[in-house]
Structure 1
Amino acid sequence: MTLAAGSLCLGGIVLFVVLAAGALLAFDEPGTANDGATFDAYVWRVARFTLLQASLSTALSIIFAIPVTRALARQLSFPGRVWVLRLMALPLGLPALVAALGLIGIWGRQGVLNSGLAWLGLAQPVSIYGLSGILIAHVFFNMPLAARLMLGGLERIPGEYWLVGTNLGMRPWSIFRFIEWPAICGLLPGIAGLIFMLCATSFTLVLTLGGGPAASTIEVAIYQALRFDFDPPRAIALSMLQITVTAVLLISIRMLTPKADEGHGSGRMVRRFDGRRGLGRAGDGLVIAIAVVFLVLPLASVVSSGLRSDLTKLVTDPLVQRAFLTSLVIAVVSGLFCVVATAAMIQARQTALASRHPTKPLRGLASGISASTSLVLLVPPVVLGAGWFLLLRPFGDVALFAPLLVILINMLMAMPFVYRVLEPAIATHSARTGRLAASLGLGGWNRLRFIDWPGLRKPFMMALSFACALSLGDLGAVALFGSQDMVTLPWLLYSRMGSYRSTDAAGLALFLGLICLMLTIAGTPAADRNDKRKPDAA
């Protein structure tokens, strides 16, 4: 039963992706082919800009993350450190459209920064649109991600290393060169590859802050080719180019990421003596303060602008209510589908590998399940949407299928993250309770009720809340299929921004951000009152 359910979910995911890709490859409508001219100068210009902005975004995110990481690693205890670490995680769960509006409030033509420059008599404003705006937005999202990943690497350095460094009287530069940099350097290929892929497949930020065709990525160009120009051959060419780029990126990440080498130690408690006083402590404090201000200001701008809008009018607006209900239904359904399908595949994979000598079909099933959770990284949501748009067009109005397509695409989009939350939790739970359940003869519903659900409730709720938050704030899938009949909060927010109704957009951004924040908090396990660890360890 477990193998059948997992195989069914795997087959459905593969079929959904293969049909979309097949529709792109097989599309050949009379009067639309142009003898290979789809790969014209525009397509290559879009590809060059995609790689350029992704490379610059990756480099800037890592360059800025390194001093922030070192400062947090050296200052192990100061008031509010745990909240700084939590702030670093906040952009990961924030809808890109909400963050874009907050960045416009700080860096835009009428934003805080340009107003300050004008007050100083400087005539050249900072532009948030175009390449500069895309870079600022990507650093806002990815610098905290890089810092948290690097910080984990520094925290795993054995305590003996710091003790030896102190006994040798190492200066800060020597500590960085011989102790910190080797740990960071081993993580850089994986971190850089992940950030590069996220930036290369960025859609919402580029669509909002790109400012025009001159700053367009492959995903945005696919959307424009179908939504505005209705040029399927160009959309197909761009989709194939996007799949090629993402495939090369995924293979490069796998090849360049080294195996973890944590170093060997006796488990001695980590005590760092560098950066405790003088210029070192002041410099670390300044770096942390700048990072906090950079992250907090856009969030504060969203809250401030949202509170100045007519919230009562927005709450009572029938269109906003319908958009909220549509977004909530899509988020909950896609989140449930994602968690259930992922859990079924994880259980099937563990069952397939449970025997000491699994057969080739079982090993193939296990490998296929592991690979399927990354299919959405290879075939991004806009490409999936483009394929299904072409596949369903002969059957009538594609908008009729829009809700189901958006739910399925959002489910696949969240699956890589949900898999990484549930897989270790289910593996640990099975190792602890498998023999007990077998000895008691528990199975099926009784095992789920009395053993599995009490032990796995927290990771399941965390995965569900994260999947719902991702779906609720997504604009990529609904951008192709959104219409007057299916309006979501992100689509309505983007429409209000495009029609220069900035006050309404600010209020909608506040609603959307608060809902996603509440979903994230609801899925975060409460701290155990009996846990005596330091708060900074959270």
Structure 2
Amino acid sequence: MAGRIGPVARVAGGAAAVLVAALTLGTLVAVAMRAEDAPQLGPADFAAIRFTMLQATLSALFSVALAIPVARALARRSFPGRGLLVTLLGAPFILPVIVAVLGLLAVFGRNGLISQGLMLLGFEPVHIYGLHGVVLAHVFFNLPLATRLILQGWLAIPAERFRLAASLGLSPRDVARTLEWPMLRAVLPGAALVIFLICTTSFAVALALGGGPRGTTVELAIYQAFRFEFDLGSAALLSLIQFAICATAALAVWWVDLPAGFGGGLGRVTERWAISGPGLRALDALAIGLAALFLLTPLAMIVAEGIPRLADLPASVISATGRSFAVALSAAVLTIVLALSLATLALGTRGWKTGAVEALAVLSIAVSPLVIGTGLFLVIYPFADPISLALPITALVNALMSLPFAYRALAPALAEAETVHGRLADSLGMRGWARLKHLILPRLMRPLGFAAGLAAALSMGDLGVIALFANPEQATLPMEMYGLMASFRMEQASSAALLLLVCSMGLFWVFDRGGRVRAAT
């Protein structure tokens, strides 16, 4: 492939690599330079660091521990709707964080379902704010991810081993000790580290459920230093600390292998002969039922509470929805351009250059969006007003955050297309635009649709960088929704949450479905 990509593709790939490096490493350098003027860390900063590590650790441990019985039940039971349930396990990943928070409040909040039931019985209502609220929200988001990771490990165990165990008369405890525990020992560290990395960059969850200074994460401390105190030195120093935490976690994830083939084979159930007893079946049904209840009830509450007041949404919510669509579509287009350019460049290089391009494509995993936002502000501020560029900056950073997922979806498909059809295209003299139009794009429609839908959905629901820059006239739908929650207009916030949920899921469905329909057979 090195000789197949034309000069235009090389220029596009090089430009994408330079842009990604500037947005990650360049902004980090700008932050580091400004951090020299920062005062020393105070007690509140150390408390934020401790809280960040504590909540991420607890969230990872609880998510993985609760996912084990759910994944085991899904791996060994076949029942109507199993495929749909496994599919729904991926929904929280693209669910807007602020929407999920409102759904959790409707169930676990002071006026939620559980609190109302407790008060009817004469008990005190549930208090969701603080460490336990943050951990609860993170478990809601990451329990499905942990289940999918562990489920893949279970389904990777060859069926012949279970047949052999049954022929030898091994009990369920013996099967767990000889087959399942070795798999869990290999899978669990990687799953826990991935979730820990995700939780270290928590912003919207801590903002909504932290409950005050004792529930402040490093991300939230950056926001407070930047937005309320305009202490750029402290914000820069905290950004470096956040980068160190994220980079360490990312390196740990890289070092610990995840289960091979993650994402495939989720429809297969291995027949087990030693688990047909009614007690074990009841335990599996209980695990699946409780997980489904925990994950689906908040979504059902959003729908139930949001529908009655949809017609009464203020005009500001409608305007914010339009801005969110503009940001989401711009982020999706930019994500696809960057991912496809970098994938083409990586395919046209050899040796360490390929590794460098791939590292750039996933580098944003180790950099918090608020760190990038802080660095962009420091770079732009001497020359222009960053507030006036809030929406373009948000789209740019959102595209960068979605880039690793899009690259992982596109790069293997591009390599396969070139391997299978590349020589034929060479013999026909297909280069440049003709090669892209007739060879690459038709065979990349499925991953292109998935990547664009994922980028658009994540950007539509993002409440991160926009909170650093935007004023009320530039608010996106998540920011407008948070404003309604902060002013205790919960009924309108519920309707805005339903609108945001429909928009995010709708964008993902349209792009993903469009890619499938137009995919080459």
How would you bin the TM-score normalised by the shorter chain?
Answer: over 0.9
User: For the residues of structure 2 that align with 1:485 and 1:368, how far apart are their CA atoms?
Assistant: 41
Query: Partner residue of 1:265?
Result: none
Does structure 1 retain, via aligned residues, the 8 Å contact 2:327–2:394? yes
Q: Cα deviations across residues 6-34 of structure 1 (Å, max 9, x unaligned)?
A: 111101111222332222222279xxx56
Shift of 1:429: 1.7
User: For the residues of structure 2 that align with 1:8 and 1:443, how far apart are their CA atoms?
Assistant: 20
User: For the residues of structure 2 that align with 1:78 and 1:269, how far apart are their CA atoms?
Assistant: 10
Query: Partner residue of 1:117?
Result: 118
Q: Cα deviations across residues 283-334 of structure 1 (Å, max 9, x unaligned)?
A: 111111011000111001110110122x1232xx432222111111111111
Query: Partner residue of 2:14?
Result: 7
1:100 aligns with 2:101: yes
1:502 aligns with 2:490: yes
User: For the residues of structure 2 that align with 1:397 and 1:445, how far apart are their CA atoms?
Assistant: 38
User: For the residues of structure 2 that align with 1:16 and 1:87, how far apart are their CA atoms?
Assistant: 34
Does structure 1 retain, via aligned residues, the 8 Å contact 2:68–2:147? yes
1:339 pairs, out of 317, 336, 339, with: 336
User: For the residues of structure 2 that align with 1:11 and 1:248, how far apart are their CA atoms?
Assistant: 24
| Partner amino acid, structure 2, of 1:368 | A
Query: Partner residue of 1:132?
Result: 132
Does structure 2 retain, via aligned residues, the 8 Å contact 1:429–1:455? yes
Query: Partner residue of 1:26?
Result: 33
Query: Partner residue of 1:357?
Result: none
Query: Partner residue of 1:312?
Result: 311
User: For the residues of structure 1 that align with 2:253 and 2:442, how far apart are their CA atoms?
Assistant: 37
Does structure 2 retain, via aligned residues, the 8 Å contact 1:105–1:112? yes
User: For the residues of structure 1 that align with 2:500 and 2:82, how far apart are their CA atoms?
Assistant: 27
Query: Partner residue of 1:201?
Result: 201
Gaps of 5+ in 2: 1-6, 263-267
1:463-478 paired onto structure 2 within 5 Å: 463-478=451-466
Does structure 2 retain, via aligned residues, the 8 Å contact 1:3–1:352? no
Query: Partner residue of 1:372?
Result: 360
Does structure 1 retain, via aligned residues, the 8 Å contact 2:328–2:395? yes
Q: Cα deviations across residues 433-488 of structure 1 (Å, max 9, x unaligned)?
A: 11221122222222233222222112111111111111111011101012133111
Does structure 1 retain, via aligned residues, the 8 Å contact 2:190–2:257? yes
User: For the residues of structure 1 that align with 2:75 and 2:416, how far apart are their CA atoms?
Assistant: 29
User: For the residues of structure 1 that align with 2:516 and 2:397, how far apart are their CA atoms?
Assistant: 36
Shift of 1:282: 1.3
Does structure 1 retain, via aligned residues, the 8 Å contact 2:155–2:269? no
Query: Partner residue of 1:330?
Result: 327
Does structure 1 retain, via aligned residues, the 8 Å contact 2:32–2:236? yes
- Cα gap change, 1:232/1:426 in structure 2, threshold over 3 Å: closer, same or farther? same
Shift of 1:235: 1.0
Query: Partner residue of 2:23?
Result: 16
1:481 aligns with 2:469: yes
Gaps of 5+ in 1: 263-267, 354-362, 530-538
- Cα gap change, 1:283/1:214 in structure 2, threshold over 3 Å: closer, same or farther? same
Q: Cα deviations across residues 480-525 of structure 1 (Å, max 9, x unaligned)?
A: 0121331110110111111111111101100110111112222335
User: For the residues of structure 1 that align with 2:93 and 2:170, how far apart are their CA atoms?
Assistant: 36
1:247 aligns with 2:247: yes
1:221 aligns with 2:221: yes
Count of paired positions: 505
- Cα gap change, 1:258/1:57 in structure 2, threshold over 3 Å: closer, same or farther? closer
User: For the residues of structure 1 that align with 2:13 and 2:367, how far apart are their CA atoms?
Assistant: 21
SS of the residue 1:202 aligns to? coil
Q: Cα deviations across residues 176-222 of structure 1 (Å, max 9, x unaligned)?
A: 12111211221122111110010111111111111111101000110
Shift of 1:526: 8.8
Does structure 1 retain, via aligned residues, the 8 Å contact 2:153–2:259? no
User: For the residues of structure 2 that align with 1:261 and 1:417, how far apart are their CA atoms?
Assistant: 16
Does structure 2 retain, via aligned residues, the 8 Å contact 1:221–1:238? yes
Query: Partner residue of 2:4?
Result: none
| Partner amino acid, structure 1, of 2:360 | S
- Cα gap change, 1:506/1:528 in structure 2, threshold over 3 Å: closer, same or farther? closer
User: For the residues of structure 1 that align with 2:370 and 2:27, how far apart are their CA atoms?
Assistant: 11
User: For the residues of structure 2 that align with 1:100 and 1:277, how far apart are their CA atoms?
Assistant: 39
The percentage of aligned residue pairs carrying the same residue is 38
User: For the residues of structure 2 that align with 1:433 and 1:152, how far apart are their CA atoms?
Assistant: 31
SS of the residue 1:370 aligns to? helix
Does structure 2 retain, via aligned residues, the 8 Å contact 1:53–1:135? yes
Q: TM-score, normalised by structure 2?
A: 0.93
Does structure 1 retain, via aligned residues, the 8 Å contact 2:191–2:258? no
Shift of 1:135: 0.9
1:89-488 paired onto structure 2 within 5 Å: 89-123=90-124, 125-257=125-257, 260=260, 270-309=270-309, 311-314=310-313, 317-353=314-350, 363-488=351-476
Give runs of ≥4 in structure 1 deviating > 4 Å.
258-262, 525-529
Shift of 1:255: 2.3
Does structure 1 retain, via aligned residues, the 8 Å contact 2:51–2:217? yes
User: For the residues of structure 2 that align with 1:168 and 1:41, how far apart are their CA atoms?
Assistant: 61
Q: Cα deviations across residues 20-51 of structure 1 (Å, max 9, x unaligned)?
A: 2222222279xxx56x42x1211111101110
Does structure 1 retain, via aligned residues, the 8 Å contact 2:449–2:516? no
1:62 pairs, out of 61, 64, 78, with: 64
User: For the residues of structure 2 that align with 1:392 and 1:418, how far apart are their CA atoms?
Assistant: 28
Does structure 2 retain, via aligned residues, the 8 Å contact 1:305–1:507? yes
Does structure 2 retain, via aligned residues, the 8 Å contact 1:7–1:365? no
User: For the residues of structure 2 that align with 1:182 and 1:428, how far apart are their CA atoms?
Assistant: 33
1:516 aligns with 2:501: no
Q: Cα deviations across residues 71-121 of structure 1 (Å, max 9, x unaligned)?
A: 11110x211111110121111110101000000000000000011111111
Shift of 1:391: 2.4
Does structure 2 retain, via aligned residues, the 8 Å contact 1:61–1:143? yes
| Partner amino acid, structure 2, of 1:137 | A
Query: Partner residue of 1:85?
Result: 86
1:48 aligns with 2:55: no
SS of the residue 1:441 aligns to? coil
User: For the residues of structure 2 that align with 1:249 and 1:199, how far apart are their CA atoms?
Assistant: 10
Q: TM-score, normalised by structure 1?
A: 0.90
| Partner amino acid, structure 2, of 1:313 | D
User: For the residues of structure 1 that align with 2:126 and 2:214, how far apart are their CA atoms?
Assistant: 18
| Partner amino acid, structure 1, of 2:217 | T
User: For the residues of structure 2 that align with 1:21 and 1:71, how far apart are their CA atoms?
Assistant: 44
| Partner amino acid, structure 2, of 1:242 | Q
CA RMSD of aligned residues (A): 2.1
User: For the residues of structure 2 that align with 1:139 and 1:149, how far apart are their CA atoms?
Assistant: 15
Does structure 2 retain, via aligned residues, the 8 Å contact 1:327–1:489? yes
User: For the residues of structure 2 that align with 1:251 and 1:174, how far apart are their CA atoms?
Assistant: 35
Does structure 2 retain, via aligned residues, the 8 Å contact 1:74–1:274? no
| Partner amino acid, structure 2, of 1:74 | R
Q: Cα deviations across residues 113-161 of structure 1 (Å, max 9, x unaligned)?
A: 01111111112x2211111111110110111100011111111111111
User: For the residues of structure 2 that align with 1:305 and 1:47, how far apart are their CA atoms?
Assistant: 36
